Chains A and B, each alone.
Chain A
Amino acid sequence: MKDDYYSIVVIGERELVLGYKMIGCDESYNVDTVEEGAKKLRSIFTREDVGLIIASDFIRNGLTDSEIDRIQMSVKPLVVFVPSERMKGKREEEVLREVIKRVLGINLEV
């Protein structure tokens, strides 16, 4: 199998960004507002060389539903929303639970 290497980008709160910088992440953006984060995420999402985007989950509030769907289904890049502290976003578990309920018709504890 062909091995491709991609870079990792972090977008989010200051603590997250600083922490990632400490483990040697080259590209990280500290964003403080939802709009700024959404804009950044959109522009990075389209880049070819990025393999993993780690974003604070408040950024999700600035995206439309179809955008979120598209972002979370893609493999290259993968996007992970991580819990943020200052601004509360919808937790990933809740979002996933809704999708499961729609598809399988049951309430699963995720």
Chain B
Amino acid sequence: MLQKVKPTRMELLKLKKRIVIARKGLDLLKLKRAALIMEFMKYIHKSKDLREELEKITRKAYEDVKIAEIYHGSIGIESATMMVKKMSKLNIRTKNVMGINLPILGRERFEDIVNTRYRLIGFSAKLDQIIYDFEKYHNLILEIAEVENSIRKLLQEIEKTNRRSNAIEKILIPELENQASYLKMKFEEMERDTFVTLKKIKSNLQKRENGEALAD
């Protein structure tokens, strides 16, 4: 797809400048992609371990809930839930990594989900076990939420960067180079054109001179 350009030297200079800028941009995008992938790798190893642990804890926690249900019945558990201290609200902040907002979940207020002293008095060991399991579970979930969301965000950004660098590399730069070479050809053509015209004029002049000389 050749865009119409005026065959002037000015246009060629502009094109050359644009090609240089596009190349620079391409290099930058490639660097960004590499940096993103490095960041991504950091998270991906963490994610694997976390998910494995979650699977384990889930099985144990569900088992403990079932056991507690056998002992106390679901009504027993329900009434116990009325006694626990309410969970504190979640603090979500974001951290900026190369222009992407990655979530950070606040953990500072999670120490006091349930007061342990009070727990020993009111609850049986089975219920206590559930609380213990799910506290662990919840901390893990917070971490997983952070890591997985970050992974997805990074992947999205990597995809975007890929698309951009491909667009520059495979479409923009070839097109600009095409235009530049077209202009160069045009200039050579014009040069030959003027050369031929000059030759023609010269020979015409010479012919005329010769004719005048003969007439004299």
Q: Is the CB of B81 within 8 A of A80?
A: no
- Point out the residues of chain A lying under 8 angstroms from B114, CB to CB: 23-24
Given A22-B81, A22-B127, are A96 and B148 also a contact pair (CB < 8 Å)?
yes
Complex Cα distance A49/B75, Å?
29
User: How many A residues touch B, CB cutoff 8 Å?
Assistant: 42
B85 beta carbon closer than 8 Å to chain A: yes
- The prevalent SS among residues of B at the interface is helix
Q: Select one of B58, B84, B135 contacting A82, CB under 8 A.
A: B58
Instruction: Show 15 A/B contacts (Cβ-Cβ < 8 Å), sorted by A.
Output: A5-B89, A7-B89, A14-B65, A18-B65, A18-B130, A19-B137, A24-B87, A26-B86, A72-B152, A76-B92, A85-B58, A100-B44, A100-B155, A103-B155, A110-B51
B131 beta carbon closer than 8 Å to chain A: yes
User: How many B residues touch A, CB cutoff 8 Å?
Assistant: 59
Min Cβ gap B105→A in Å is 7
- Point out the residues of chain B lying under 8 angstroms from A110, CB to CB: 44, 47-48, 51
Given A18-B77, A19-B134, A110-B47, are A83 and B58 also a contact pair (CB < 8 Å)?
yes
